[in-house]
Structure 1
Amino acid sequence: MKAVIFAGGLGTRFSEKTQYMPKPMIEIGGKPILWHIMKIYAAYGINEFIICAGYKQSVIKEYFMNYFLLNTDVTFDLSDNSFQLLENHSENWKVTVVDTGLNTMTAGRLKRIQKYIDNESFCLTYGDGVTDLDIADTIRAHKESGKLLSMTVYKPAGRFGSVHIDPKNDTVLSFEEKPDGEGNWINAGFFVCEPEVFNYLPQDSDPIMFEHEPLQMIASDGAMHAYKHYGFWKPMDMLKDNIDLEKMWISGNALWKKW
């Protein structure tokens, strides 16, 4: 199974750093948050990734192009400009980085990578949030639900999109992005999808937010399942979140570290 990661936004709330790099490349403990997210998936055996890049996508491509060399001990012989690779500390990952456009919305980014999915179930998330979510269990619950899409939902103190769930069978009844009020289940941004999800994306999906019409239509068709997560989840929305996650990593209390 592949994991698709949205990593193309402008990250305007991080202008101090995103003028130099895309938001998913902002570091926690010396590694991009994108790397941390991929390590979470890899801990459950998902080692193939499709990165939906856009803004400063060259930074992401260069990072993975040089990843093997930078994570492998190497001896350089300057006399003949040769080198020898020694102990390898790299990852067993296959990473496809796709330039999905500078101003493309999330539905458009997803539509643009459809050809790389191979008509298989896939995981989907954003490149700016970490969690101790049991990925394997989300996949299991998704398969058992028989739905087209499973959304991991979380219950913080508000400020995110609200998910209304039938308590009898955990079917999502409706989805509303960022409503007023607090205490609702919210979209935590970790999905398991069937390829039929692409049927909800028109050919020209570039101006469409996946979180708006597509998810709302899937929910209204009774085809969305809710996976309730009660553990740790934290999006990196602003600089303070980055500082908090850095402190957690340095203190050895990185609750998302599954490896």
Structure 2
Amino acid sequence: MKIVILAGGFGTRLSEETLKKPKPLVEIGSMPILWHIMKIYSSYGFNDFIICLGYKGQMIKEYFMEYTLNQADVTIDLSNESKSFEIKRKNIEPWKITLVETGLDTMTGGRVKRIQPYIEDQTFMLTYGDGLSNVNILELLEFHKLHGKMATVTAVQPEGRFGSLAISENNTIKEFIEKPQGDGNWINGGFFVLEPAVFHFISGDSSVFETDVLPKVAGEQQLVAYKHHGFWKPMDSLNDRNQLDNLWKTGNPPWKVW
């Protein structure tokens, strides 16, 4: 099954990093967030990726073209006229990666539409190139198969932006919660499972997946939520990036399921 990753946006809210590189190449630890996302899927046995490129997409191509060289031990024999090159040791993921130019200004729905020729008539998964989670991909896929609808979206409850105080009648604080789990509302957390019929709901490059496509699918009673109660965090700002980086440095980040 193919995994589609949206990696073409400008990442303007993370301009401290994205002036020089595309957002999916912003590093958590020493590896791009895109690598972390792919490792999540790969840990469940999904290794066939389609990456939708846009802003600074050539840098993502260069990253994967040089990936084996950068991860392996190599011997370069400069004394040989042919300057032989030999990879001695490599611990490389078994990934097949199709990098698709989906346009600089194309919206999210349009990017999905552009990779239709690579999907053919198969169920596929879709996610964003800037969010991490410990969602169980196999359970998500099984849930999708059981309900038999066109689309499944992983629904999450993000942590609250501000702390929460439980205050008694005499103004004594009964409970202090630094970052509560949202306000009870569920939001789109990405990590979709989609049937190819979804392409019929995408009109073109200007189509936004979240506001143009999904409402139409929902209107046909074909969109189902998979509720994820575990870890989920997008990388929308430099503060988000730093939080994820600090979690990685603990040695046991919650999205590291491999």
Please give the TM-score of this superposition, normalised by the length of structure 1: 0.89
Amino acid at match of 2:210: E
- The runs of 5 or more residues in structure 2 that have no matched partner are 162-181
CA distance in 2 between partners of 1:15 and 1:249 (Å): 22
Q: 1:154, 1:229 within 8 Å by CA — same for their partners in 2?
A: yes
Percent of aligned pairs with the same residue? 55
CA shift in 2, pair 1:158/1:246, >3 Å? closer
Q: In structure 1, what is the equivalent of residue 52 of structure 2?
A: 52
Q: Secondary structure at the match of 1:153?
A: strand
- Mapped contact 2:158–2:232 kept (Cα < 8 A): no
Shift of residue 102 of structure 1?
Answer: 0.5
The one of 132, 152, 155 aligned to 1:153: 155
Alpha-carbon distance, 1:150 to partner: 0.3
CA drift of 1:157 comes to 4.8
Residue 192 of structure 2 corresponds to which residue in structure 1? 191
Structure 1: any 5+ residue segments left out of the alignment? 160-180
SS of equivalent to 2:207: coil
Partner of 1:243: 242
Asked whether the 8 Å contact 1:4–1:122 carries over to 2, the reply is yes
What is the number of residues matched between the two proteins?
A: 236
1:96 is the counterpart of 2:90 = no
- Deviation, 1:182, is 4.1
CA distance in 2, matches of 1:82, 1:156: 52
For 1:222 and 1:57, the matched residues in 2 are separated by 35
Inter-partner Cα distance in structure 2 for 1:220 and 1:184: 20
Question: 2 CA distance for matches of 1:214 and 1:79?
Answer: 59
Structure 2 matches for 1:80-159, cutoff 5 A? 80=80, 81-157=83-159
Residue 163 of structure 1 aligns with which residue? none
Q: Helix, strand or coil: the match of 2:210?
A: coil
**Would you identify which runs of 4 or more consecutive aligned residues in structure 1 move more than 4 Å?**
none
What whole-Å deviation, never above 9, does each CA across 1:174-218 have from its counterpart, x for those lacking one?
Answer: xxxxxxx9431110011000011111112xx21121001210010
Give deviations 1:140-181, integer Å, cap 9, x for gaps: 00000110000000122578xxxxxxxxxxxxxxxxxxxxx9
Matching residue of 1:37? 37
Q: Write the distance in 2 (CA, Å) between the matches of 1:23 and 1:152.
A: 22
Match in the other structure for 1:227: 226
Letter in 1 for 2:35: W
Q: Is the 8 A contact 1:156 1:183 kept in 2?
A: no
How much does 1:16 deviate? 1.4
Give the distance between the partners of 1:71 and 1:130, measured in 2 at CA.
Answer: 23
Greater radius of gyration (CA):
2
- Aligned partner of 1:77 in structure 2 is 77
In the TM superposition, residue 68 of structure 1 has moved relative to its aligned partner by 1.2
The structural deviation recorded for 1:118 is: 2.0
Q: Is the 8 A contact 2:11 2:22 kept in 1?
A: yes
What SS does the corresponding residue of 2:55 show, helix, strand or coil? Answer: coil
Q: Deviations over 1:1-53 (max 9, x none)?
A: 01000000000011111111100100011100000000000011100000001
* Correspondence 1:158-237 to 2 at 5 A: 182-202=183-203, 205-237=204-236
